[in-house]
Amino acid sequence: MNEGASINELTPERRLRRLELAVTRRLDGLLHGSYLGLLPGAGSEPAGSREYRPGEDEVRRMDWAVTARTTTPHVRTVDADRELSTWVLVDASASMDFGTADFEKRELAVASVATVGFLTAGAGNRLGAHLMTPDGIRRFPARGGRTHLLGMLRTLLAAPRSAPATDQIALAAAIDGLHRAAPRRGLVVVVSDFLEGLDDDGLGPGAPAWELPLRRLAARHQVLAVRVGDLREQELPDVGLLALVDPETGRRREVHTASRKLRQRYAQAAAQQQEYVSAAIRRAGAAHLALRTDRDWVADIVRHVHAQRRLARGAHRPMSSGGVTA
């Protein structure tokens, strides 16, 4: 796929083929020899300990015996399981149909799911999905194979658009539903703009409704939150009188974008909201990947994968033999 062209211009089958080519071409060779790409896998087999890294490591992985012996905080490291179960939750609410660049946010969600599927494909690995549609949750059992992945992507592309003010299932409830449906530890990818379930003005400080369910999910699984956004959610253009419509409620408002003060206030509020959402994702214990419709989404994913691979290599580096003896 030419990443600068909208996939809406293509037939469904050609969209899927272009997506597959874009992902495999740009990521070719990146993960050869390892399926640990999107997150450093927690695995199940003990593999030693290393020093604790504030902000990167989970306290629940502390190796208290080594910590006591060396008087330096250490965490347990583990080798990854030989098979990976991946679950994807995709938000298809009305706000995901917004987009002012080459992609709508929904199209970017499809692209990210395709990337997750191609990155985690491998012998024994399985992929399942919960798709949030206006008619409820569409569930796909965890299975392997390219045919299964393409079937999920076709469903995403063909999903009807959500009308404003519809009584669609909330993101928090959808996360809880996936938590119940995926008992085996694995990788969970939540794809959303995470704009639903915020407090009244969307700026905090109250926790979003989805934060606690996401935290419960992260207590069992490795979780990656893929937040999709659009440039116009961050800044307003100077185009005179502009009619704005809330895609979730249908509420309409006209604003005079010629006012520099108004545009600055909007940008400041948008940046505050972005940090509010990012902080909630961090508190929940999930990894965070931000994608935007006006950016090169494949390059953003590549950077994330490289960063996670460096983190995984650091986690499996042998512990120094020096230190304080008991």
Ranges of each domain in the chain: 7-34+81-314
Instruction: Give the model's confidence band at 321: pLDDT under 50 very low, under 70 low, under 90 confident, else very high.
Output: very low
Architecture field, domain 7-34+81-314: 3-Layer(aba) Sandwich (3.40)
- At residue 66, the 3 state secondary structure works out as helix
Q: Where do the DSSP E strands lie in 18-148?
A: 45-51, 74-79, 85-90, 126-133, 136-143
What is the pTM (predicted TM-score) of this model? 0.76
Mean pLDDT (the chain, rounded): 78
What pLDDT, in 10s, does the model give residues 275-305? 999 999 999 999 999 999 888 887 888 788 7
Instruction: Give the model's confidence band at 162: pLDDT under 50 very low, under 70 low, under 90 confident, else very high.
Output: low
pLDDT value of position 290? 93
- Give me the mean pLDDT over the 50-58 stretch: 74
User: Do the beta carbons of residue 211 and residue 200 sit within 8 Å?
Assistant: no
User: Do the beta carbons of residue 324 and residue 70 sit within 8 Å?
Assistant: yes
pLDDT value of position 1? 42
Helical (H) or strand (E) element with 246: none
Helical (H) or strand (E) element with 184: none
Instruction: Give the model's confidence band at 11: pLDDT under 50 very low, under 70 low, under 90 confident, else very high.
Output: low
- Within 10 angstroms of residue 51's Cβ, the number of other Cβ atoms is 15
57 pLDDT higher than 80? no
